[in-house]
A and B are shown apart, each in its own frame.
Chain A
């Protein structure tokens, strides 16, 4: 009963904050501000729900909102290739992997301690707020720069230039090959580690 009340208060407050963010965004920068507020709320709200929820499955689905919101932020930042890659890899791949691991482990609803969450929030929040204050006080932000090259050429976006950058010898081709090697090694290793039988894992008994 108390749990349920807490849930209701939490989600009510989250909804109110969402409406507030939409209003502030709309007032500050019109349509772009509203879009930014939507994606920022998806990103941060998903993170908050992920930390708050007791069930791992719900947290994983809240993380989906976070990843999708980040893809939206990438679109606003004119990084269309990254937005697509974000949805493909994070929402389609990493989240599916996480849910797979969630299904194989037992649920533990008593694991979240509100006191621990509160202490962590106080310390981390205090630290980050202090840092943000210091940065905001001293930093000289970029003003919005000229449009990137791709925009002048028409509807190509950044995917073509990223592809050329990956394969051009004077740019990123070595890093690209290294990333390919790392992915191959990591995925083969993951398959090997995950497929080992229980008997291989157990430490050898004395005298056995």
Chain B
């Protein structure tokens, strides 16, 4: 399979993540969409690394992306739990404490 096929899969995954973020009114879906977008970027890194016959730079980038995604998921879910305790809702539009 050529590089174009991998880039196409990555583009489709990116689009799905963006759709999940835009169309859902639930913070957890937004987090899922972010994970999909990060994974799409990872596929691109690894595919270009492989087909460009580079050293391991692309795979290193992907490793750091995974590390950051793990840290982001942990912090974001802790925040989601707090928002839920405080507002009894996981809709992103209802966290409006600063408006008062």
Residues of A within 8 A of B (CB): 28-29, 32-33, 36, 40, 43-44, 47-48, 50-51, 56, 59-60, 63, 66-67, 70, 73-74, 76-79, 81-82, 85-86, 89-90, 93-94, 97-98, 100-102, 104-105, 108, 111-113, 116-117, 119-121, 123-125, 128, 131-132, 135-136, 141-146, 148, 158, 161-162, 165, 172, 175, 179, 182-183, 186-187, 189-191, 193-194, 196, 198, 201-203
Contact = CB atoms under 8 A, between A and B. Distances in A.
Contacts of A136: 4
Interface string B5-48: 11111011111111110111110110110011001001100111
Given A111-B25, A141-B3, A44 B59 contact: no
Given A29-B1, A97-B74, A175-B64, A44 B13 contact: yes
Given A63-B32, A102-B28, A165 B3 contact: no
B73 A94 contact: yes
B23 to A, nearest CB: 4
Nearest to B23: A120
Contacts of A74: 46
B50 to A, nearest CB: 4
Nearest to A81: B59
B74 A186 contact: yes
Interface residues of B, number: 69
B2 to A, nearest CB: 6
A73 B67 contact: no
* SS class, residues of chain B in contact with chain A: helix
A47 B82 contact: no
A197 to B, nearest CB: 9
A128 B37 CA distance: 13
* Main DSSP-derived SS at the A contact region: helix
B6 A77 contact: yes
B67 A79 contact: no
Contact of B35 (A94, A117, A203): A94
A179 B67 contact: yes
Interface string B45-88: 01111111100100110111011111111110111111011100
